[in-house]
Amino acid sequence: MTKTAEVILFPRHAKNPAQFRTWLASISSTFKKYLEGKGLNLTHQREEVLKCLLSAGNHMSLDDVYAAAKKKDPTIGRATVFRTLKLLEECGLAAEVGSADGRTRFEIKADRPHHDHMICIECGRIAEFESPMMERFQNKAIRQHKFIALWHRHEIFGRCELCAK
Amino acid sequence: MTKTAEVILFPRHAKNPAQFRTWLASISSTFKKYLEGKGLNLTHQREEVLKCLLSAGNHMSLDDVYAAAKKKDPTIGRATVFRTLKLLEECGLAAEVGSADGRTRFEIKADRPHHDHMICIECGRIAEFESPMMERFQNKAIRQHKFIALWHRHEIFGRCELCAK
DNA sequence: ATTTCAATGAAACTGAGTTTCATTATCAGG
DNA sequence: CCTGATAATGAAACTCAGTTTCATTGAAAT
Ligand SMILES: [Mn+2]
Ligand SMILES: [Mn+2]
Ligand SMILES: [Zn+2]
Ligand SMILES: [Zn+2]
């Protein structure tokens, strides 16, 4: 009976406030650099969206982030949240994730290892999993097809442990 | 230097007419049984849609199938094509596949081994690949999470061999 | 022939995602 | 400080794949 580790959970987000501030500062700085490169600037709205995405949960829909941001700044617009999420995605700091209810979710990618998702069609919960072996065989298939892989999504739908009665 | 087979292409669809007719008959019969079980019947429109999906290419959008079906029966409606594709999916004969241009594609699942997809963001081509090893490690992850997997999608986006200059 | 209910096609609707546009903030040079 | 130029914003409008509605037709059952 071998001790299988292999698959690792990612209960994420810095719980320690100081740790969180450091993390935010680091990502903020990366975002700022990216924006400056395009002649844009890191406005307080953009920073607010980033902060919300980092703190208010892991797999948030546009409207989740919008709601969270609105609590801090009631004047913020949905369009701005949308545009900021796109910018974050564009520069590789965030990524889109599928979900049980058709709405796309967003997650922070920075400083996080690659992982895929198991999505509960009952409660919507999204569990993260990671399997180096899987990635390995995936890369093998990609190589054999002489395919230039840019990104992938691997999403398993079903019932989570809690919802499986 | 081991002879790697492992990843197999699926250039699909019975080329031989006789073979094709047999295949169609078999799937038709399954579909009919499914419909009867729900008090529905296999109309000529429904059969036409099935035939188109089987013959006119492998990863067709709703409107691809609609166009193909319309050639054979100009009176057929988009709603009927849509509903038939949903029925085929519902009974496990067909499945939805992602694509480069946001529109869902459909493929026949009956009598075909499970496979995943590499999708070219340049030309839209969808290549099929299959890796028992990947499925194996995927199942391992699922077991470890005590997840009840119902279906999954594993789609790799990038540039196909031809489009990679 | 009459009843019943499935099936259809045209057209209308839905809603997540996206864009437009008038207005407001930001910033660099003077 | 002003002053222009341009980036940024929020509200509202728009898109469009997917889906539903509804009036009509078809096909079986009685
Ligand atoms: Mn995740
Ligand atoms: Mn396929
Ligand atoms: Zn669940
Ligand atoms: Zn290509």
For residue range B16-61, list pLDDT tens digits in order: 788 888 889 999 999 999 999 999 999 999 999 999 999 887 899 9
Smallest-distance ligand from the CA of B127: 2
Cβ of B75 near strand D (under 7 Å)? The reply is no
- Cβ–Cβ below 8 Å for B145 and A127: yes
Nucleotide lying nearest to B43, CA to C1' measure: C7
Chain A residues inside the 8 Å CB shell of B140 = 4, 6-7, 131
Q: In whole angstroms, what separates CA A7 from the centre of its chain? A: 19
pLDDT at residue A135, as a whole number:
95
* Count of other CB atoms within 10 angstroms of residue A108: 19
Question: Nearest residue to nucleotide D20 when comparing alpha carbons to its C1'?
Answer: B79
* CA–CA separation, B160 and B117 (whole Å): 12
Q: Note the pLDDT of residue B16.
A: 79
**Residues of chain A whose C-beta is under 8 A from some C-beta in B?**
4, 6-7, 98, 118, 120-121, 127, 129, 131, 133-134, 137-138, 140-142, 144-161, 164
Rounded-to-integer distance, Cα A68 and Cα A60, Å: 10
Rounded to whole angstroms, the Cα distance separating A163 from A123 reads: 7
What is the per-residue pLDDT for A58? 86
Rounded to 5 degrees, φ, ψ at B38 are: -105, 10
Q: Determine contact, residues B119/B126, Cβ cutoff 8 Å.
A: yes
| Per-residue pLDDT tens digits for A78-119 | 999 999 999 999 999 999 999 999 999 999 999 889 999 999
B106 within 8 A of B97, measured Cβ to Cβ: yes
Rg of chain A over Cα atoms, rounded to whole angstroms, equals 18
The bases of strand C with some atom under 7 A from any protein CB are: 5-11, 16-20, 25-27
Mean pLDDT of chain B: 90
8 A C-beta contact, residue B128 and residue A144: no
pTM of the model: 0.89
In chain A, beta strands by DSSP E: 60-61, 94-97, 105-108, 116-120, 126-129, 148-159
- The structure tokens 């028992």 sit at B132
B-chain residues near A148 (CB < 8 A): 158-160, 164
State whether residue A119 is helix, strand or coil: strand
- What's the whole-number average pLDDT of chain A? 90
Please answer whether residues B43 and B87 qualify as being in contact, where contact means their C-beta atoms are separated by less than 8 angstroms: no
Answer for B82: CB within 7 Å of strand D: yes
Give the whole-number percent of chain A exceeding pLDDT 90: 81
Q: What is the spatial distance between Cα A107 and Cα A89, in angstroms, rounded to a whole number? A: 9
Contact B150 A141 (CB under 8 A): no
Record: fold of A11-164 = Arc Repressor Mutant, subunit A (1.10.10)
Contact predicate A95/A105, CB 8 Å:
no
Compute, in angstroms, the gap from residue B118 CA to the centroid of ligand 1: 21
User: Which nucleotide is closest to the Cα of A75 by its C1'?
Assistant: D10
Which phi and psi (to 5°) does residue B155 adopt? -125, 125
**Of B26, B106, B101, B32, whose CA–CA distance to B66 is shortest?**
B106
Q: CA of A27 and C1' of D10: distance in angstroms?
A: 26
Q: How confident is the model at residue A11 (pLDDT cuts 50, 70, 90)?
A: very low
Q: Which-ligand-closest: CA of B12?
A: 2
User: Please, which pLDDT band fits residue A20 given cuts at 50, 70 and 90?
Assistant: confident
Structure tokens at A95: 């990524």
Q: Are A24 and A54 in contact (CB under 8 A)?
A: yes
Ordered by start, the domain boundaries in chain A are 11-164
Q: Do B137 and A137 touch (CB under 8 A)?
A: yes
